[in-house]
Every structure is written in structure tokens, then in C-alpha cells.
Amino acid sequence: MIVYLRLLSESFSFAMNALRNNKLRTFLSLLGVTIGIFSIIAVLAAVDSLDRKITKDLSSLDKNTIYLFNDSFAPTDVPQWKKNQFPNMKYEEYLYLKGAMSHLDQMGYQIFTKPETLKYDSKTMSSINIVPVSYEFIDIQGLEFQSGRFYNEAESTSGARVVVIGDEIAQTFFGNGDPIGKGIRMYGQRFTVIGVLKKQGSGESMGPSNDISAFIPVNFLRRLYSESNRMLTNVIIVKPVKGVDMDAFKAELSQKLRNFRGMKAGDEDDFFINVFSGLTNFIDNIIRQMNIAGWIISIFSLLVGGFGVANIMFVSVKERTNLIGIQKSLGAKNKFILFQFLFEAIILCVIGGIIGMCLVYVVMLVLTKVLDFEFVLGLGNVMLGTGLAAGIGLISGLLPAISASRLDPVEAIRSGM
């Protein structure tokens, strides 16, 4: 065992000396491996960061939550022209289903609408995300408050002019002052601030951040616009009780809505039951495809780097043929020569891989600051990058190392004269 450890130690020492003595060749070899490792780890780290962000954004929602409206989260066989003819969800349907459905935990009503401009005194904020929802939304979404409260059932039903605002809106309009009870203007009317949400961060949300969102009673917007307005999208959000049979629940939901709309047995559904888990599965599938695409693209970079290392190692064997002959004539075993060149290739590639991962880390730090999106270089990707670099070195250096170890000492010495 001690003999083998000494053999490895001496081989490692020879490899490091060879790399130090041939700086230009070492640099050129490092370049190919660095680019290859940078490419694959950058892609994988970016996809992982996106996956983490989406998972965090969706963690507050129950995977069995259903979004009932006239479009589908995932690709569907229903053509777009036909979906355009589907009616919007109506508030009366929400009220009916809320009273008719069994195994129901919560049901809410939401309207997707365009951004608006908010005003307070002489201050103005544009492109604010307006979220008109019924009072149940707080229990479905799990909103967290910095101060104040969400509107209650009476305020929601009456369409009261009250608003819950995000942290950025509160900071812009009121600074360190207390926003509760203050009035801001939108839709040409004055709304009283009754709550401020906890800071979320613009890089922590799939869609518009809650920091730049204003939540208002859905019935206010229903009075302002017609419910059949095609510029708006009405959604019924359904949260069943835990442990429910989802297939049976969806079947009951579909049947109740069909009955309310007076649809016949042969009529196709003119609505979509979008289960939240279906959206997460669809996103997971996209993430997998992005990972596969990243691997395919990056493998070409790794191949170029690997061929470059192999070529450099063959040149190294050629240059050191005379030295190999002298080492063998002095009693060096084939294993010693083999390990010497293998270590040289592996160390070269590992150093290149480390440099590549350091570049990924620096680039991600810069992008995190510039884009306000948290890019993360996980330990798994660091270990993967190191393993890939070592693997490239092992494969690329194997043939040159074998050819060096099999040289005849006499012929090797003679070739150097």
C-alpha cells in the first residue's frame, strides 16, 4: 500500500512539474476545458435557479387548487378559435358552485385585468399590477402582512373602495409613514389603504411581484366593467379539502357547471378545469427539456476541450520520449509512466474546470445584481463540474498515457539523440 501511495505521490509531482514547465501549452489546454465546463455548468445552474424560483413562488399554493376559466394552462387539442368563443366565468356561477360543491375548502373569484396608474398627492406610480379578487383569496393564496388586514366579506361583496398594497407602493407613496387609512387614487376614484403586504422582492415571483400589486374587491371592477368584456379574464379559484379524490371532485365540478349553463349531454365543455399540479408538471417537463438541451449544447464544448487535451498530451509524450526512456532505464515501471501522464491530464482538466466554475459564479453574482433575480450555483453543480473535468482528463489522457507507458526504453532514448 505504501509503495502505491509513493508511486501516486511521485507521479503527481512529475505531472505538476510538467505543467509548470510548459505554461503556454498548459494555458491552451485549460482554455478548452474551461469553456466546456463553463458552458454546461452555466446552463445547468441557470435552469436550477429558475426551478428554485418557480418552486418557491408556487409553494404557498395547494397542488390540488383548481383554476376554472375559459383557457388552459397546458397545451390542448382545442383550437384557439374555439377557445375564443368560450364564455367568461360569471360571478353567479362562482356563487352557485360555492354553495353546491361538496368537499370544498375555499372558493374565490378573480379577474385578470390590465395594469393601472396609482396616485397619492403629487406622487404617481404607473404599471401597477391590479388584482381584483374576492375575500377568500387570502386563505387560498396565503398572503403575509406587514401591517393592516385584508378586506372582509362585507367589503368584498359590496365592492368597497378599499385596497391592500405591496411594499414598494407603500415605500414610494408613504416612505416611513403609516399608510393605513390613507387614500390613493385609481380608476378616477379614492381608495382607502387597509393593509400592506410583506416585502417579496421582484426576483421572487413568477409573475408581477406582490410588491407592485394592489388588491381590490372584485365587485368594484365588476360594477366598473361588463363581466362579458373580452379584455378581462374571469377565474373561479377552487380549493378542495385535503385528501379528496381529485377525479371525482373534478367530475362533480364539471357536472355542476354544465348543469348551471344548461348544457346537453353531447355538448363539449366550454371551460377548462386547470389543476395546479398539472401546471407544476408542465413546468417540470419544460425544466427537464431545458436541461437536456443544455447538456446537448454543452457536450460539444466538452468534446472540443477533450480533443484539445488529448492532442496536447500526445505532443507532450512526443517531446518527453527521451526522458521517458531514461526513466525506464533507471527502473521506472510502466505504471509510474502511465500515472504520470494520466495525472497530468486530470490535473489540467480539473484546474480548467475550477476556473470555469469560478467564472460561472462571478457571472451569476453580476446577473443577480443587474437582473434582481437570484442565480444560485449549487453544491451539486460544483461536484458535477469537478467530476466532469476529472472524467474528461481521464478519458483524454488515457491513450497518450498508455502509449507513453509502452515505449521501449532503448528506442525512446535513441529517438531523443
Of 414, 352, 340, which Cα lies nearest the Cα of 385? Answer: 352
Burial (CB count within 10 angstroms: exposed 0-12, middle 13-18, buried 19+), residue 119: middle
User: Could you tell me which of 372, 365, 392, 291 has the C-alpha nearest to residue 41?
Assistant: 291
For residues 48 and 287, what is the distance between their CA atoms, to the nearest angstrom? Answer: 8
Q: Which residue has the cell 476545458?
A: 33
In this structure, of 111-125, 195-209, 286-300, the range with the lowest mean pLDDT score is 195-209
Rounded mean pLDDT, 287-293: 77
In sequence order, what are the beta bridge partners of 294? none
C-alpha 312/C-alpha 349 separation (Å) is 12
Residue 169's pLDDT band (cuts 50, 70, 90): very high
Pair 386, 380: CB distance under 8 Å: no
Q: Where are the domains of the chain?
A: 2-57+282-415, 87-270
Amino acid (1-letter code) at residue 404: A
Beta-bridge mates of residue 238: 66, 107
Ranking 51-55, 257-261, 362-366 by mean pLDDT, the lowest is: 51-55
Are 117 and 128 in contact, with CB atoms under 8 Å apart?
yes
pLDDT band at residue 207 using 50, 70 and 90 as cut-offs: low
Name the strand (E) or helix (H) holding 167: helix 167-174
For residue range 124-141, what is the model confidence (pLDDT) as tens digits?
999 899 999 999 998 888
pLDDT at 289: 80
Q: What is the pLDDT of residue 204?
A: 46
What pLDDT is attached to residue 386? Answer: 85
What is the pTM for the complete model shown?
0.63
